[in-house]
Amino acid sequence: MRSVSFSIFSNTQALVLSFSKVVCGLVLVLLAAGCSGPALQRSPTEASQTGAQALEQRAYTAVEQGDYLTGIQILEEVLRQDRTNAKAMYVLGYVYGQLGEIENEINYYEAAIQAGYRSEQAFHNLGKAYLGTDQTALAMQSFEKGLILNPANADNHFGLGMAYQNVFEYDKAEREFMKAIELEPDVPEFREYLGRFYEDAGELKKAEEQFRWILEIAPQYEGAREYVEEIERKRMLRDNR
């Protein structure tokens, strides 16, 4: 599965930052011209909000740079200041997932969703974490909730296919895999997984077709050419029996 990314600022926050830069520029111009005016005083609440936003930004920067331990420390402080910060919970879930601490990952994703961070990506990440702990029924529910938010999310279709495969519902699994590929045909990871799915089912021709697709869209994809050669060898051995 592909890696997860998250944006640091919402569109509203980005507009606020741009506006702030303009205001600062005007203030500097006035000062340079010798103009004076009343001092701008921030209320204690405004100052507190600014400090909290800066702290949160430091955490997201640390996470983007791969400094996960620092990110965790700062995000925990963010949540001590604001226990309702759903985005901070979501990013903590992501970080713990990167560190392989799946129980913490699940707990924080669940908390983020409960607090209102209900995105298709959040449900996908939670579903993957459930799959990693063999909680297939919960994984299915999570992927399905993500698809309710966006039926065209290829990752959630693919995750649902993996969940169906876990419970031996192969027709449904293939349907979801194919839907994911229909939505995003140029993702080699999808086709590799489907190719191996077909190989396990003994459908070597279909498996070979998926890996040949990979060679078309990503010629340097690791192991694809060798896998095609291996599938061809297996087919020849089977056909010559």
Domains of the chain: 50-117 (1.25.40.10), 118-181 (1.25.40.10), 185-241 (no CATH)
User: Which segments of 66-203 does DSSP mark as H helices, in order?
Assistant: 68-81, 86-98, 102-114, 120-132, 136-149, 154-166, 170-183, 188-200
Instruction: Name the residue with higher pLDDT: 45 or 167.
Output: 167
At 38, the pLDDT band (50, 70, 90 cuts) reads very low
Q: Which residue has the tokens 């999310």?
A: 153
Instruction: Name the residue with higher pLDDT: 157 or 29.
Output: 157
| Average of per-residue pLDDT across 127-140 | 97
- Percent of the chain at pLDDT > 90 equals 68
At 210, the pLDDT band (50, 70, 90 cuts) reads very high
**83-109 pLDDT tens trace:** 999 999 999 999 999 999 999 999 999
Largest Cα span, the chain: 95
Residue among 58, 55, 46, 44 nearest 20 (CA): 46
